[in-house]
Amino acid sequence: MNKVFSQFLVFSVVFAMVHGVPSGVVANEPPGVNGAGLTATDPAAADPAPEGPPLVEGVIESVTLYRDQALVTRLIDVPADPAVRELRVGRLPEQVISDSVYAEGDADTEVRAVRVGKLVVSGSSRREVVELEEKIAELERQQDTVRSQQESIAKAVQDIDRLTQFSLAAGASDLGRGVLDAEALTKLVEFSAKSRADLSENALKLRHELEDLEEQLTEAESQRSLLTEFAKPEGYEARLTVRSVGGGQVRLSYLVGECGWGPSYTIHGDWEAKRVTLKYSAMVRQMSGEDWPNAKLTLSTASPQISSSGPVLIPFRVSTNGYPVPGADGLGLQQSAVPASAAPMAPVQLKEAAKGLRQRQAAAETAFGPAVADRSTELRRDLMLNSLAGQMQGLEMQADSKAVASLAVDEESEVDSQTYPLEEPVSLDSRREYQLVKIIETPFDAEVYHIAQPLLSSYSYRQAEIVNSLEIGLLGGPATVYLDDRFVGRAPLPTTASGQKLTIGLGADQQVRTRRELRSKRDEMQGGNRRIHFDYRLVVANFKSTPVRLRLVDRIPIAENPREVSILLTPPTEPLSTDALYLRVERPRGILRWDLEIPASSFGSDARDVDYDYSVEFDRSKRLVTESEELGEFSSDAGRMDPFDRMLLERSGMGGMGGGMGGMGGSMGDGGNM
């Protein structure tokens, strides 16, 4: 048995030498040393010193906000120095368009070079992240150490179990030979039990220590995640090479994306005072990555990327074979051919095709604008624009004579290029929410009246007609409308040029009602023709205690082909309106309008009646077909609508609230022909 115990002791010593004495205490590193082996005072552990001159940011002096970009100008002070020096302008936003950055100095400052690059920042905002990453690395290293000790303890327990089994087997053999040493066997069992107890205690300590390390690691990773998730981008910096003997200033300008604006209106109508107050605002989207504090703001609808040099127009050639003439102009331009057998396009199809070509032209000017720095790029731009122009002229040649009006440029384009410099400085933070900026608020004298169209509704609608007396055009956009401080509704405001009339709908008035009655219908045959007589009465009731100015509107049919269908209106009981615009634009299209003054409390037997009749004459062998039979629902076959009708619907003032001619009226009144 002494031999067995000696073997056990020898094995335990060897085990201790190989595995070490298990312990639940992790050896501590010298104070002030991090996981990378650097002391806290080691310069390599701190943030690297910035390279080159110190970083300056300057002051944002002005911002020109376009529809989808902004031109930002910073003012940078330049110290007096007869030598050429470098300035580092930092904190340019992440959305900066790097090739748009330029700088110009004042009379005493010369700018020799501008370079743009990623901003290298290692300040306090970054230091916290670095410290957390070092702490996470140290915690992970401690976890590895604890797991290694746990594995050693597990192996030691297995070794003790194997040694105990071996010793017991040897003791049984000694007992069989009568030489068992009971005292040695007892000591062996006691030693084994104590060793297992010590190992179990250490294993428990290590498990608790590992759990504590897991908690610390989770917390550190969470803190790092918060810092990195909400940290602002480092952005860009501009390095300026300047010289200013007496000191001066540099203006640094650059374009940024993720920003833009759109028009928005609030309209307050005062019916008794015959006045409309219009507040024109901009809904600004500002997510450029930098704040614009107290900046001089200009809103613009122009494109900042159009080249300063205009394109060149080259000849447009046609042939009779229906094929393009390749290379005929010496530049390899494929001009658009006009096939002789091409079927005429529907008016709306022509309109959409022309609109698409204009959009592509505008996109080409914008896309090539910043890059037109050499003749080859300028030539590519000119060829593309001429090619699109050739396609436009091809549409003009294909268009049916009745549909050429569809190719006209929308009058909105006349107001598209607008600039609104704001008088007061504006602060705009970079954030996701839209921000409202007032452009102008001004009252207008208005012509107020009711309009009734009994074919469409039994109600009358209030309308106010104003003239845009501002020096600026008003872009089309959504409007929130109030009448006498009561919310009326929302509607789209049409684009309105300076000096143009604008009709604003102010909601329905249920106290002024109308109805349309077919009093009689007669069908006659005259020779080979059939004549149908229609006799109508329009009834207007005013339940208000005050008189009402009313525009009463109805219609008679118009003939697609006057040689096949003849339509004759008998003079109504009330004379039609003498308004020049109405007589020139609407009356030839079959629209009837009466300008009436309806007395107060005119209803029942006192209601106002307007009678009119007309006749339709056509070949008796044919059937009269209405447009609604051919078209069905306009919404399902709008491509076949008459261009004038579609234009009337699209430009009818304030949509369903207003009716009438709306924003279209002013431009026609200025001399446009239909």
Angle at 374 between CA 369 and CA 379, to 5 degrees: 70
Residue owning tokens 């000790």: 149
pLDDT of residue 308: 52
Q: Residue 265: pLDDT above 90? A: yes
Q: What is the pTM of this model?
A: 0.61
More confident residue, 436 or 308: 436
The percentage of residues in the chain with a pLDDT greater than 70, rounded to a whole number, is: 70
Share the mean pLDDT of the chain: 77
CA-to-CA distance for 564 and 624, rounded, in angstroms? 10
Q: What does the pLDDT average to over 215-222?
A: 89
pLDDT of residue 571: 93
pLDDT of residue 674: 30
Q: Residue 403: pLDDT above 80? A: no
User: pLDDT by residue (tens digit) across 553-591?
Assistant: 999 998 888 889 999 999 999 999 999 988 998 899 899
pLDDT-derived band at 668, boundaries 50, 70, 90: very low
Helix-helix angle 124-177:182-229, to 10 degrees: 160
More confident residue, 155 or 347: 155
Number of residues in the chain:
674
User: pLDDT by residue (tens digit) across 32-44?
Assistant: 333 333 333 333 3
pLDDT of residue 608: 94
pLDDT-derived band at 401, boundaries 50, 70, 90: low
More confident residue, 527 or 650: 527
pLDDT of residue 395: 77
Q: What does the pLDDT average to over 405-410?
A: 58
Q: Residue 191: pLDDT above 50? A: yes
pLDDT-derived band at 518, boundaries 50, 70, 90: very high
429 exposure class (CB count in 10 Å sphere: 0-12, 13-18, 19+): exposed
Which regions of 455-607 does DSSP assign to beta strands (E)?
459-467, 477-483, 486-493, 501-526, 529-542, 548-555, 565-570, 591-598
Q: Residue 368: pLDDT above 60? A: no
> Which of 541, 540, 459 is CA-nearest to residue 505?
459
Q: Residue 664: pLDDT above 60? A: no
Highest mean pLDDT among 205-219, 378-392, 404-418, 641-655: 205-219
Q: Residue 226: pLDDT above 50? A: yes
pLDDT of residue 165: 77
Phi, psi of 114 (to 5 degrees): -135, 125
Among the residue ranges 86-95, 502-511, 597-606, the one predicted with the least confidence is 86-95
More confident residue, 412 or 461: 461
pLDDT of residue 375: 64
Among the residue ranges 8-22, 437-451, 509-523, the one predicted with the least confidence is 8-22
Q: What does the pLDDT average to over 400-406?
A: 62
User: pLDDT by residue (tens digit) across 59-77?
Assistant: 999 999 998 899 999 999 9
More confident residue, 635 or 128: 128
Decide which of 2.70.70, 1.10.3470, 2.50.20, 2.60.40 is the CATH code for 55-122+233-256: 2.60.40
pLDDT-derived band at 551, boundaries 50, 70, 90: very high
The percentage of residues in the chain with a pLDDT greater than 90, rounded to a whole number, is: 31
Q: Residue 48: pLDDT above 70? A: no
pLDDT of residue 374: 59
CA-to-CA distance for 445 and 282, rounded, in angstroms? 24
More confident residue, 539 or 57: 539
Q: Residue 457: pLDDT above 50? A: yes
Q: What does the pLDDT average to over 536-551?
A: 94
User: pLDDT by residue (tens digit) across 131-175?
Assistant: 888 889 999 999 999 999 989 888 888 888 787 777 767 767 766
Element (H, E) at 7: helix 2-19
Q: Residue 650: pLDDT above 90? A: no
pLDDT-derived band at 336, boundaries 50, 70, 90: very low
Q: Residue 51: pLDDT above 70? A: no
pLDDT of residue 231: 52
User: pLDDT by residue (tens digit) across 472-505?
Assistant: 889 889 999 999 989 988 888 888 888 889 999 9
User: pLDDT by residue (tens digit) across 283-308?
Assistant: 999 998 889 999 999 999 877 655 55
Residue 642: C-alpha distances to residues 348, 367, 419, 563, 627 (Å): 8, 35, 35, 19, 10
> Which of 436, 428, 371 is CA-nearest to residue 64?
428
Q: What string of H, E and C letters represents the secondary structure of 571-604?
A: CCCCCCCCCHHHHHHHHHHCEEEEEEEECCCECH
Residue 489: C-alpha distances to residues 267, 276, 507 (Å): 10, 15, 8
623 exposure class (CB count in 10 Å sphere: 0-12, 13-18, 19+): exposed
